[in-house]
Structure 1
Amino acid sequence: MGKIPPSMRGAQLPVVSNLLKSHQQQLQQQSSSSTPPPKPYYPHLNSKNNKNNNKLKTRNTTTPTPTPSFRFPTPHLSDAISIFNSLISSSNSNTNSSLKFYNSILDSFSSISTPDDSFAFLNHMLKVTSPSFSPDRSTFHILLSHSASSLPSIRKSLNFMLSRGGFVPDKVTTDIAIRSLCASSPQPLLEEAVELVKELSLKHSPPDTYTYNFLIKHLCRNRSLTFVNSFITDMKDAFNIKPDLVTYTILIDNVCNTKNLREATRLLGVLSDQGFKPDAYVFNTIMKGYCMLSQGSEVLKVYNKMEEEGVKPDMVTFNTLIYGLSKSGRVKDAKKFLSVMTGAGHFPDAVTYTSLMNGMCREGNALGALNLLVEMEDKGCEPNSCTYNTLLHGLCKARLLDKGTELFRVMKAGNMKLETGSYGTFVRALCRNGRVAEAYQVFDYAVESKSLTDVSAYATLEATLKWLKKAKEQGLVV
């Protein structure tokens, strides 16, 4: 990474082709472990310091989807039956007794065929291999995981599982079905997922917290808040399935991303009323929302409430607070928290310093931001590309073009990429000061370093040159 040169410091800067022959090798290479269902997503897992991580990272399931040991060359049922018959006739008795072997074959064909053909293929497998092949619940879950094209297909798989295998849907079954509908292409079948989860809750097995929150997350992303709240109320009233801390965190994160901070505050109150103690992630999320609105005072209020609740701030908390205060023009207040965060065992990093520099540049104190860069490096904190781009943009805005040019040389020596905003501001500043040749050099570097696309970089330069020509004609620029 580039360092600030002494001159800047002094200036206050701181198909399986041959399937039968390879079959035995594939069986030997096949791992004894299987690939589990997709991992549930929870916002809490994004926080390294969350106390709930150990509870959320794993799920108990006994029906993983097997990894196929080979691929069928075509999706045609007749071809699959022919290949399977050849495999059975050429395989030894030990192979034929392996459930993983049969499940991998079924999974391979189901991944490229229609649900109806998959059912027919399983029926053929049972007919040819009986009694050596006795399918278990995981066998039917394979069919279910490949039936996401519509709700009728899911229902048909569930009925087939019950009638042909005698297996009543359990929580894992519910999870696979819901995830399959949510992963449907070209768009998730969320209304169908809601309908199915209610149906399974009534007849067989309600969702566990993982499945429930997984669906909540997808509903928040793709449906209105009214729809989500209606679903939560229905599940609570009809099946006594209540939202937990993770549910509220997902909801709060969603409304904060849509800048609905009033709803976020309401949900924070509901969360407390339900007996849940908000953790650092919840408070950080709300603080982030106020940062998006440049409401530094509200960010500070959330931090104070966090202290009152006895929730220990983490590194994200302090960086969010400093960013929010700096962005809203309260750099002096933001700087006070540098010692507070250090006292709490969290040392300022590149994010912390860049936030402060951004705020100082907004106030027109670009030289002070450069001094902070020197201080940052002296303390052993390595600035990143965002830090330099922030300063370059601030210097150009403050009409300190020579300092900006020298900082650009440092960036260039460190092979740092230019961001769109700093590039455009720098190029415009150079052209307005009659330094067009240097602007072309910056353009060349932006293209060579792949900082911007050729079209984007050239469009900015061309627009600036057009403005310069017009300004000269009007006598605005010499």
Structure 2
Amino acid sequence: MRFGPVPFHHHIAMAIECYATSSRPTAGVEAQAVFDLHRRLDLRPSVTSFTSLMCAYARSDSDPADKVEKVFHQMVKQWKAGDDFAKPNLHVYTSLLSALLKSSNPRHFEKAQEYLLEMKEEGLKPDAHVYTTLMAAWSLRNCPEKAEVLFNQMEQDFRSGNSEAMPSFKAHSTRLIAWSKAGNPEMTSTALNDWIADVYSGVVKEKPDDRAFSALLQAWLRSDRPDAAQKAEMGLKQMYHIAETQGFDCRPNARSFTSVISAYAKLRDPNAAKRVVKLFLKLKLEAANHANDPKMQPTPVTYGEVIVALGRSGRGTKAEDFIFDLIKEMQAKPRQFWTECNVVESFFGSAKHAISSSDFRRKNVIMDELSRLDSIASPHNRNTYGSDTDWY
């Protein structure tokens, strides 16, 4: 079977797409040079050419919003001039929104919302990916209310017959993260319960796991409420119950325990220190029973939060002895113990501050031991970014 020659504008589109899928830092500029051949050869760019050029800018430019939007407006102008082959489709709008959401300019975020409405007015149905992309962007900018509005719109679209807007695992987890980061345990709990309800109704296949349930514990930790630690511990118990009775993979691990311990460590209360010690000993027992599971092993942050809690408790000799035991344990840890934690320096800073501010009689000795431990950890890890209790 013989085929006729491929139209030249198809070759241009393929060349632009090659730049769009490359990792070249100059991909946008080079794709634009190829795109300009349309004008020089008196050819009309296709939707594919426009979209690939937008993607090339989005991949290669750190802030591509204005350039991508300019290409989009050029496409719309061609379409409204009578070229139906240049009519923006769902993929075009998705590329546009992705570029706008990479911007550091809040104005582009508001524009993204406007383009979402424009999509609907043009008869296009946003899918779950479009909604989740917008939600994640607002979450990164600590605007959970905006993410919540989008999630509700997605659910409404789905109930109205848009099957592509069915809330996904990523949509639920993005919503959950947004509220957890904001320190709003009530809304985090609502998001988690809605996710579970969607699992049982068959909307979502993936069940929330230990990280999702730990997000609720972290929401309590971030809330700074007087009863946050007790509420977080109740959440820890709930994780055990749901894992045992409903078959969810949400059995608490070291990160879950550390979130609760951190909440208690914020309290300058001897009773809080008692709870911390009990939780830590329970975690160590769990770790021993699951020795081959790295997620169950206490991290430097776990140890550090225990030391902070004891330092703030005002307790005497027993607390000091327990801290010395913790330091000995850490001194015997392998190199991997330090290299897998991304906040070693903040661990030492918090622990030293708590001890130096304490009423311990042997605090100078403890400080010396912590400095010695610091010298062991220093060659292995000096990353001060992030939080070891963050799962996202």
TM-score bracket for this pair, using the shorter chain length = 0.5 to 0.7
Distance 1:423 1:265, change over 3 A: farther
Match of 1:315 among 144, 159, 169: 169
1:179 aligns with 2:18: yes
- Map Cα deviations across residues 405-433 of structure 1 (whole Å, 9 max, x no partner): 43255346222366786565456446665
1:348 aligns with 2:236: no
- Map Cα deviations across residues 126-153 of structure 1 (whole Å, 9 max, x no partner): xxxxxxxxxxx9xxxxxxxxxxxxxxxx
Match of 1:349, SS state, is coil
Q: CA deviation at 1:332?
A: 4.6
Q: CA deviation at 1:231?
A: 1.9
Distance 1:390 1:463, change over 3 A: same
Match of 2:33 among 179, 191, 195: 195
Q: CA RMSD in A?
A: 4.0
C-alpha contact (below 8 Å) 1:169/1:204 kept by paired residues: no
Q: CA deviation at 1:461?
A: 5.5
C-alpha contact (below 8 Å) 1:430/1:439 kept by paired residues: no
Q: CA deviation at 1:300?
A: 3.1
C-alpha contact (below 8 Å) 2:55/2:95 kept by paired residues: yes
Q: CA deviation at 1:234?
A: 2.4
Match of 2:96 among 240, 251, 258: 251
Distance 1:444 1:184, change over 3 A: same
Aligned positions of 1:387-426 closer than 5 A? 388-399=254-265, 400-402=275-277, 403-411=279-287, 413=291, 414-416=293-295, 425-426=305-306
Q: CA deviation at 1:284?
A: 2.0
- Map Cα deviations across residues 260-307 of structure 1 (whole Å, 9 max, x no partner): 442221121121122211112222222223333444443332232223
1:377 aligns with 2:250: no
Distance 1:207 1:355, change over 3 A: farther
- 1:471 corresponds to which residue? 357
Match of 2:194 among 333, 337, 344: 337
TM-score scaled by length of structure 1: 0.54
Match of 2:125, SS state, is coil
Q: Give the residue type in structure 1 aligned to 2:173.
A: N
C-alpha contact (below 8 Å) 1:303/1:321 kept by paired residues: yes
C-alpha contact (below 8 Å) 2:20/2:52 kept by paired residues: no
Aligned positions of 1:121-132 closer than 5 A? none
Aligned positions of 1:353-368 closer than 5 A? 353-363=213-223, 364=228, 365-368=231-234
- 1:21 corresponds to which residue? none
C-alpha contact (below 8 Å) 1:256/1:288 kept by paired residues: no
Match of 1:277, SS state, is coil
Q: CA deviation at 1:249?
A: 1.6
Alignment partners' CA distance in 1, 2:89 and 2:220: 41
Alignment partners' CA distance in 1, 2:44 and 2:362: 72
C-alpha contact (below 8 Å) 2:262/2:305 kept by paired residues: yes
Q: Which moved more, 1:333-342 or 1:420-429?
A: 420-429
Counting aligned pairs with the same residue, the percent is 15
- 1:218 corresponds to which residue? 56
- Map Cα deviations across residues 98-134 of structure 1 (whole Å, 9 max, x no partner): xxxxxxxxxxxxxxxxxxxxxxxxxxxxxxxxxxxxx
Q: CA deviation at 1:254?
A: 3.9
C-alpha contact (below 8 Å) 1:318/1:341 kept by paired residues: no
In structure 2, the gaps of 5 or more residues are: 266-274, 313-318, 365-392
Aligned positions of 1:102-121 closer than 5 A? none
Aligned positions of 1:223-238 closer than 5 A? 223-238=63-78
Match of 2:238, SS state, is helix
TM-score scaled by length of structure 2: 0.64
C-alpha contact (below 8 Å) 2:300/2:337 kept by paired residues: no
Q: Give the residue type in structure 1 aligned to 2:91.
A: V
C-alpha contact (below 8 Å) 1:283/1:302 kept by paired residues: yes
Match of 1:268, SS state, is helix
Higher RCO structure (Cα 8 Å, ≥6 apart): 1
Q: CA deviation at 1:228?
A: 1.6
Q: CA deviation at 1:168?
A: 7.3
Alignment partners' CA distance in 1, 2:49 and 2:257: 46
Alignment partners' CA distance in 2, 1:256 and 1:421: 33
Distance 1:372 1:197, change over 3 A: same
Match of 2:294, SS state, is coil
Distance 1:177 1:340, change over 3 A: closer
1:441 aligns with 2:329: yes
Alignment partners' CA distance in 1, 2:45 and 2:308: 57
Alignment partners' CA distance in 1, 2:348 and 2:199: 47
Distance 1:465 1:396, change over 3 A: closer
C-alpha contact (below 8 Å) 2:13/2:48 kept by paired residues: no
C-alpha contact (below 8 Å) 1:220/1:228 kept by paired residues: yes
Alignment partners' CA distance in 1, 2:280 and 2:13: 59
- 1:279 corresponds to which residue? 127
C-alpha contact (below 8 Å) 2:47/2:87 kept by paired residues: no
Number of residue pairs matched by the alignment: 311
Distance 1:326 1:179, change over 3 A: same
Q: CA deviation at 1:438?
A: 0.9
Distance 1:408 1:236, change over 3 A: farther
C-alpha contact (below 8 Å) 1:287/1:321 kept by paired residues: yes
Larger Rg: 1
Q: Give the residue type in structure 2 aligned to 1:381.
A: F
- Map Cα deviations across residues 178-215 of structure 1 (whole Å, 9 max, x no partner): 52487475x22422321321223652766655554343
